[in-house]
A = this chain, B = another copy of it.
């Protein structure tokens, strides 16, 4: 070992010890003949000092050190004169007897500190230097800690981590697969898994009972912000369970992660909210319940006052923004512009100010008397000083817009503290979604999701309105407005699966072509089973109080799916293409 101690562990109790440390030069400075060096490693920073009367060679070496040099030092732990309460090692320093330069460093292209002066592109190119910065070290340490907690919890609950293959088969449905040409089978391809869904269900058929895996998944999508072509999933499945068993097990996992990694207690049991309530009250299937400001329907109060915009809409809804009655005309105009942006898509915004003095002021005063506005305010449970923001239109669409507006206003009012954690389950999703365009039902989750047992009669009904109200045994885990995971109880009964395909308008032949392999496996005694998957990158980011996942992935790709550090993807040798018997099409002139 090049060291007796790390740079994070020495304390006043170690005073007088002769120690050897190794690490990177964070900075050095001269002060009255003495040289002070901050030595950094993963574990912390320790101050080193070379006295003015030290041997000349030592002083010279100390003076020659540049930023990020790797050095090994020997010396004695001494008490500092001016202690630094902000540093865990701040009560001591090392009076040096020797310095060995283990490696020099050219000047790094940006500062390696809590906050860097490097731009995003530059830091991405030199990711191995950016990764030296404490925020990234903390992020990856948290990720490691969470992975350990997950494994310890699930192992304790009798789950087995079973590795499933990465070279699988391209499936004709769903998102786009990454494919891998097979040299030994020219013209044929493997596909990289979008998730181990098929394999985990097979493991249930195989009797493994409780499976999990922290596993990489791949999706060749056009990348949106904060999406990665490869991402990590906590993938789980259980046999002989009902929905309550799955929810209980995995909120237990989350509880232990919050407790052991963050020291945070979350409610036991976790709140559950039906999809219908989430849509009605939060305008989102992933509600941020850290704050109220819920959506209120005011259709009854809004209709029949001669305001044709409201009267022509099947739904009118509002949120009451606390303390915003004092917004200026300019601020209200800005809000109106904000909701009219294509990302929200509202046609306009009606406001009602619930003034602290008991009066009302609204953009539709012409149509609504004080008493009418009071009735609206009452329906919204508004308090004096609140600002009501009203949208109208088709019900779910309007609720969604109000939900987006609610999140925006919550942010403006500082109600979305990333250190506050409000997890909950969303349950009772509709099983089916009717497409007006295609005049058919689609599975809201996937075609293997089971209907709720109490809705089975509706599921076998021929009436559209019956099918529309069938709820699925599906569930999402939502934290602070982000869906961290979800899953369902699967259909294990062949007759029910056939009915599902019938409802979805999938012919027997089509079902056989698309899902034949798994349907066949299910003929050999499939147990009742269900499971879920969490997006681990996002779990880490939210636990770390961040919205973006990139800092929680050691070597992420950019929005073009490119790793700018290693410059990948890249062209390959012609000989490789020859072996694969592939030709790249030349772009047309």
Contact = CB atoms under 8 A, between A and B. Distances in A.
A233 to B, nearest CB: 12
A381 to B, nearest CB: 41
A188 B229 contact: no
A24 interface: yes
17 contacts: A2-B242, A40-B207, A41-B209, A68-B524, A69-B525, A70-B528, A103-B526, A105-B525, A164-B554, A167-B230, A168-B563, A169-B566, A182-B561, A183-B220, A184-B561, A581-B585, A583-B583
Contact of A568 (B163, B176, B190, B583): B190
Contact of A216 (B166, B241, B521): B166
B570 A169 contact: yes
B179 A180 contact: yes
Contact of A183 (B24, B172, B176, B207): B176
B70 A526 contact: yes
Nearest to A578: B585
Interface in A69-84: 69-70, 72
Contacts of A199: 554-555
8 shortest A-B CB distances, which residue pairs?
Answer: A105-B525, A131-B206, A169-B568, A2-B240, A188-B569, A182-B569, A68-B525, A144-B160
Contact of A189 (B203, B223, B555, B572): B572
A152 to B, nearest CB: 8
A186 B182 CA distance: 19
A563 B2 contact: no
Contacts of A70: 525-528
B1 A169 contact: no
Given A127-B202, A143-B162, A169-B568, 8 more contacts: A70-B525, A128-B203, A131-B208, A163-B232, A166-B216, A167-B569, A180-B569, A198-B566
A190 B163 CA distance: 23
A320 interface: no
Interface in A565-586: 566-573, 576, 579-585
A323 to B, nearest CB: 45
B184 A492 contact: no
Interface residues of A, number: 120
Interface string A169-210: 110100011111111111111111000001100110111110
B245 A1 contact: yes
Contacts of A581: 584-585
A37 B141 CA distance: 51
Contacts of A576: 170, 176-177, 179
A465 to B, nearest CB: 31
A208 B140 contact: yes
A518 to B, nearest CB: 10
A581 B586 CA distance: 8
A556 to B, nearest CB: 8
A570 B170 contact: yes
Given A1-B241, A569-B189, A165 B230 contact: yes
A519 to B, nearest CB: 12
Interface in A536-574: 553-555, 557, 560-563, 566-573
Contacts of A163: 143, 216, 232, 553-554
Residue from A42, A155, A554 whose CB has the most chain B CB atoms within 10 Å: A554
Contacts of A189: 569-572
B68 A166 contact: no
Given A160-B141, A561-B182, A585-B583, A187 B571 contact: yes
Contacts of A242: 1-2
A468 to B, nearest CB: 29
Given A42-B207, A102-B528, A128 B523 contact: no
A161 interface: yes
A161 B128 CA distance: 16
A203 B570 contact: no
A106 interface: yes
A129 interface: yes
B525 A493 contact: no
A151 interface: yes
Contacts of A198: 566
Interface in A1-58: 1-3, 22, 24, 40-43
Given A148-B155, A165-B555, A207 B527 contact: no
A132 interface: yes
Contacts of A583: 582-585
Given A128-B202, A164-B554, A555-B164, A584 B582 contact: yes
